[in-house]
Amino acid sequence: MGFLVPIGTALTVTGLVGLIACIVMVIRARKQESEEDALKARLQKIVAFNLGALALSGLGLMLVIVGIFLA
């Protein structure tokens, strides 16, 4: 079960890259949008992406832990 650790690490890193991308998207959105309603709509779309990236990262960490226990 040693293959779980590298797969989990890849998923975790991908999730972290997604979280960093969310931070960048929010910073850009706050600089570009002048209206509050438009900003809220844009941030709601980013929240969905943020939750997906967080779930992916969490799943990767779970795989790493399972891989370590089974090794």
Tens digit of pLDDT for each residue in 21-70?
Answer: 999 999 999 998 778 888 999 999 999 999 999 999 999 999 999 999 99
Average pLDDT, the chain: 94
pTM value? 0.85
Enumerate the domain spans of the chain: 27-71
Residue 68: CB partners within 8 Å, gap ≥ 6? 5
State residue 35 phi and psi, 5-degree precision. -90, 140
Q: What's the pLDDT at 38?
A: 87
Q: What's the pLDDT at 33?
A: 79
